[in-house]
Structure 1
Amino acid sequence: PVVSSNSYETTSSEEDTSCEDSDTETEGRAGGDVEPEQPGRESRGDSSGEKCEDDDDDDDEEQEASAGAAPRSQHQAHRCKPSEDFLAACQLLSEHLPEIRSRSNKHLHVLASISHEWFQVSSHKSSRPEVVAEYLEALRDIQPQLLEAVVNLPDRNGNTALHYSVSHSNFQVAKLLLDTGVSCLDLQNRAGYTAVMLTPLAAPETRQDMEVVMRLLREGDVNLRAAQGGQTALMLGVRHDRPDMVRALLSCRADVNVQDEEGSTALMLACRRDNADIARLLLAQPGCLLTLTDKGGNSALSLAHGDVAALLRAHIELSPSLPV
């Protein structure tokens, strides 16, 4: 939708499975991150996220949001409940949470084993909500603080289970994570992207899915800027021609005047993409500034052409107090 030199490691799981099915699919989202990236950037694997398509004129400048695949063994079977090893590791970790932040802590290997199983069950497109619910309940039963630690546990690229569930449009799992009450929506991965920033690339299919999207936008910070490129969720929605997501973001107070590292605003991006529908949505926001310029000295009007340019001129004529 990068920070690591290769894709997610696939390590085999050696724990006994409580139940198995025949699904051993390999996720189609290779690559190391759940954030905008480009071919050849550090975290890119062999293929981009399936919702990440390079834009025609932005190939050299846009950082796309894609979904990396969480670690999955080639023969990884689905679990139905936490393994005994997982529960034992969680019990041990719960007794040493205060000191686990130290890299030299002797219990870091315990955290690594918990992380491995947690991401296996929670962070794939095919992750099942009923299984994730079993894990969340087990974690809560051991210790509420442990639940918070694991729910917000980052992988080596800083992605949490919430990053993955949003990126994979697995909204049932995302809802479970939100319902814990301890999920940190504004956690940024190593490239500075939050789960909220990935919502414009998600594909909600039902009313319930959209309710989860709106909850993410209401509870998270929709105006955070990514560490790389300075893009916001609104900008990603514009760049991917998602008027539905742009409308949702605007309803949750996304700032139309935020500028990225190149000085571009969401309106400038809409002008570059010649997207009149999205430009109209942005212009309808009180305070939308047409006078801002990017680092090249371009304003939205100077970048617009055709129908979008006519739309901007009409907007200026209807608002004579606006400076041009």
Structure 2
Amino acid sequence: MYTRVFFFFFRETVNPDFISACRFLNDHMDNMDNPNDDMRKALVVLFQHWFSAAAEEASEASRVAAYLKHVKKETPSLLAFLVNLADDNGNTVLHYSVSHCNYSIVSLLLDTGVSDVNIQNNSGFTAVMLASLTAPDGPGGMEVVRKLMELGNINIRSSKTGQTALHLAVRHGRVVMVRLLLSCGADANIQDIEGTTALMFASDRGHTHIARLLLERSQCDLALTDKRGQTALSIAMQGSHTDTATLLQAHAKARAL
């Protein structure tokens, strides 16, 4: 009994070094763009403890909540800086939490009201893009992902490929995410740097069910061409995806009537 209580208390305790770093940085916020050696040391401490507590696959929401609660109470001006702090790969704790499907932590971060969900990492991915590749196994996770998508720019294009979250979900056959993205207003006609649309990706992969979702739930422009001059239909035919090609032909005929 006492061991269990002690372990719970210990687990929820915020590291003293983190607390000291927060206080020091909070007093020097005006110099954050040009930190001196002492500030750099404090930033390293802040980064290490924050990412260790919140960005690991085994990170626990209760511990993250304790860190966030402390910062909100003691150094509130530092909250947005902490939540949006990125590592050398441009990933924030939100990026990692989404990738780990740690939706309880994602929810905590979103509830702070200061999380910039549109930050792109060095690969050009936002948290919404990463979420489009996941497969939540319950309604709770889906609700958190929906909230994430509603808060972010769902149609933002990757700085590297020009692809959106919808492109990624379609490419990887994430039917549930495609449906959710469309319900949140994803634009199916956005083209990446190669001119490829979500429907073209579905045609290329032979994802007939996803192609049907795109055609029924969005205003897909069947006449759009990529940089090679190919349409979704020609791509499906070239790949011998007969079912997908037949579906596209049927929709084209129906729209022509």
Name the TM-score, length of structure 2 as normaliser.
0.92
Contact (CA 8 Å) 2:162, 2:193: kept in 1 or not?
A: yes
Cα drift, residue 20 of structure 1 = 7.3
Report the equivalent of 2:255: 319
CA distance in structure 1 between the partners assigned to 2:218 and 2:177 by the alignment = 19
Partner of 2:65: 133
Alignment gaps of 5+ in structure 2: 1-5
1:233 match = 165
Sequence identity percentage: 47
Aligned mate of 1:299, from 204, 213, 231: 231
Alignment check: 8 A CA contact 2:187 2:218 kept: no
CA contact 1:79–1:121 (8 Å) conserved in 2: no
Paired residues in the alignment total: 247
Match of 1:270 in 2: 202
* Cα distance per residue 1:246-292 (max 9 Å; x no partner): 00000010000011111100000000000100000111134210111
- Give the number of the structure whose residues are more often helix, by fraction: 2
Q: Per-residue deviation at 1:102?
A: 2.0
Following the alignment from structure 1 to structure 2, what is the Cα–Cα distance between the partners of residues 127 and 175? 14
Runs of 4+ in 1 over 4 A off after TM superposition: 103-106
1:211 alignment partner, SS class: helix
Query: Which residue in 1 is equivalent to 2:152?
Result: 220
Q: Counterpart of 1:182 in 2: which secondary structure?
A: coil
Deviation of the 1:136 alpha carbon: 0.3
For residues 229-252 of structure 1, the C-alpha deviation after alignment (integer angstroms, 9 at most, x for no partner) is 111100110011011000000001
- From 80, 84, 90, the counterpart of 2:12: 80
Structure 2 distance, partners of 1:200, 1:106, is 40
Q: Could you say which structure has the greater relative contact order, defined with CA pairs below 8 angstroms and 6 or more residues apart? A: 1
- The alpha-carbon deviation at position 129 of structure 1 amounts to 0.4
Among 119, 122, 132, the residue aligned to 1:200: 132
Residues 1:288 and 2:224 aligned together: no
Distance 1:273 1:318 in 2: 24
For structure 1, the 5+ residue unaligned runs are 1-18, 22-77
Structure with higher Rg: it is 2
- Could you tell me which residue of structure 1 aligns to residue 47 of structure 2? 115
Q: Is the 8 A contact 2:22 2:75 kept in 1?
A: no
2:3 matched residue in structure 1:
none
